[in-house]
Amino acid sequence: MRRSDGARLALLLTLLHPVLPGGGGVAAAQAISQGFELERQGRVEQAAGLYKTVLRGDPTNIPALLGLERVLPSLGRLGELLPLVQQALASDTGAAVRGLAVRTFTALEENDSVAALVRRWSAAHPGDASAWREWAIALEDRQRFEDARAVLLEGRQALGMGSALAVELGELEQRVGDWRAAALAWAMAATELRQLPNAVNQLEDAPADQRELVIRTLTVPGASIPARRIAAELLVGWGQPGRGWETLSATLDPPTPETALALRRFAERASGASANVRRVRGLALVRLADLLPGQLAARMRVEAARALLDAGDRVAARVELAKLAGDPAAPPEVQALAQTALVEAALADGELDSAAGALARLESDDRTSSEERQRLRHELVAAWIRMGRFDRAEQALGADSSVEALALRGWVHLYQGELKAAVEAFRSAGPYAGDRDAATARTAMLALLEQIDAERSPELGAALQVLARGDSQAAVTALRRVAGKVGGGRPDVLLLAGRIAARVGGSQEGMALDLFEEVVRIGGTGAAAPAAELEWARLLLRQGKAADAVTHLEHLVLTYPTSAVVPEARRELERAKGAIPRS
């Protein structure tokens, strides 16, 4: 301590001494504040002196007692707290002093004293678990886990309730790593509805190798409904949504007031992006909608249908949407949402006439925004284009002069083999039309078309349209056939064919390797050759041929040092060598 600090502290203590006994509440508060500051500075000895001075004037001053509880252990002088606590207990039997006494007695291993105190405290407040809780936690803090467990069980018996102190018992078992016992305790705690979220939050920390044990414990035959609902939520969080839904489903009949809450919680837990998670979310919301009245049910059904659509379960989604369409209780905006979803479902199912009809009904009123209707119309047009129904696409576009419509017309030109017109349309549409995927696809296609000298090529258009329709193998064959007819664009067309073949995988991988090899051989200094070599290396990596991939990546970096794909190649090189950590 610096001399000036010591002088200041001495002065403060001198000033406090006559003031505190006289009820100097303000002075005591200032002293406590000063004590905190000393603690913060690590000057715990001085802080202890200050707190003791406060207690000389006010033996039950809680902040001072707690301050000593904080600082004396680090000085190895906790024993000095004992007489002060006993003095405080003589005149104050509040929970704060009693709690402090329990902790102090426990820390000093005054076992008989603490047991007597807790039993007196418990007897004075029947039904109050505070005394047992305080004692158990104090024992846990001293690493006396067995003793803590015994105290909790004794407390439970004294309190006469099977679920008493279950939370504390659950936390204790978790702390010692006994996850089966923790699951049992939390299942008991969750018989109080408000403890269900805590139970799930605590048990979800179980290490991976303990999770199955937790689930089995919570779902043994005869397990309570709360236990099984905890298991259901845990399973969703642990990546087993289907099993979670099965577990929850078994607890839903007959419905009780808690059933809706359980379904709502389960649906909220199932907020992940995978199809399986979305599907169980949809199923839970459907059951929830069945339990809710009128408009609430309609809104829930829309949410359920959306989740099912996102999960790719269009059959189930359309069932819910149809229910909504015929539900007079559904408010107009919900019906609009349902009709929008119906169009999307029909589009996803490839039922374009049905989608067109639903869209026409949607356009006959103003329940959806014009932007939403336009978005759906463009999706319908894109679907017609993919199907090769250019007449229907043009008809649906009508006089639409938006940039999105311009971009769509570019695809029509392209698939009809009008390459120059397609390029002009894509350029006019600019880089921002449609969503990011659409813009990326357009840019990639522009890059390909710019390598091709011909203004028209119905064969190339047809080959690309086969690809758009989703027939990858036929597209590879068609693109290879047409590659010889597009002049300087041959490497780029073969590269595209190779990429498709690589993505198809399986028996097409050999074809992809041949195509990449050909592009590297004939590609000269153009952009296609390094891009093909990168794809080649990636395919080799997927096949587990890291050494061969490294050879290609090194060749790429050294042969095409100015290529735009060199940074990607370097990263693949690092990955191939195992120098990039797997997250």
Applying CB under 8 A, the residues found at the interface with another protein are 39-40, 42, 73-74, 76, 141, 143, 174-177, 207-209, 554, 557-558, 561, 566-567, 570-571, 573-574, 577, 579-583
Supply 396's token pair: 């649906």
- At closest approach, how far in Å is the CB of 352 from another protein? 44
Q: Which is nearer to another protein, 222 or 561 (CB)?
A: 561
Given a contact cutoff of 8 angstroms between Cβ atoms, the answer to whether 141 and 128 are in contact is no
Q: Which is nearer to another protein, 169 or 425 (CB)?
A: 169
Supply 512's token pair: 């992809």
Sequence-separated (6 or more) residues with CB below 8 Å from residue 250: 228
- At closest approach, how far in Å is the CB of 525 from another protein? 17
Q: Which is nearer to another protein, 56 or 570 (CB)?
A: 570
Given a contact cutoff of 8 angstroms between Cβ atoms, the answer to whether 383 and 346 are in contact is no
Residue 384: CB atoms within 10 Å: 23
Q: How far apart are CA 147 and CA 452, in angstroms?
A: 82
Q: Which is nearer to another protein, 70 or 264 (CB)?
A: 70
Supply 152's token pair: 């909790």
- At closest approach, how far in Å is the CB of 402 from another protein? 39
- At closest approach, how far in Å is the CB of 456 from another protein? 43
Q: How far apart are CA 261 and CA 271, in angstroms?
A: 16
Supply 232's token pair: 């259901």
DSSP code string of 16-41: HHHHGGGT-HHHHHHHHHHHHHHHHT
Q: Which is nearer to another protein, 73 or 505 (CB)?
A: 73
- At closest approach, how far in Å is the CB of 558 from another protein? 6
Q: How far apart are CA 197 and CA 489, in angstroms?
A: 61
- At closest approach, how far in Å is the CB of 391 from another protein? 50
Q: Which is nearer to another protein, 144 or 481 (CB)?
A: 144
- At closest approach, how far in Å is the CB of 492 from another protein? 26
Supply 465's token pair: 């349209």
Supply 101's token pair: 């006494």
Q: Which among 509, 425, 426, 417 has a CA at the least distance from the CA of 463?
A: 417
Q: How far apart are CA 501 and CA 512, in angstroms?
A: 5
Q: Which among 368, 380, 430 has a CA at the least distance from the CA of 404?
A: 430
Q: Which is nearer to another protein, 74 or 274 (CB)?
A: 74
116 - beta bridge partners? none
- At closest approach, how far in Å is the CB of 82 from another protein? 18
Q: Which is nearer to another protein, 407 or 557 (CB)?
A: 557
- At closest approach, how far in Å is the CB of 271 from another protein? 22
519-523, long-range: CB within 8 Å, 24+ apart, which pairs?
519/491, 519/494, 519/495, 522/490, 522/491, 523/491
Q: Which is nearer to another protein, 391 or 574 (CB)?
A: 574
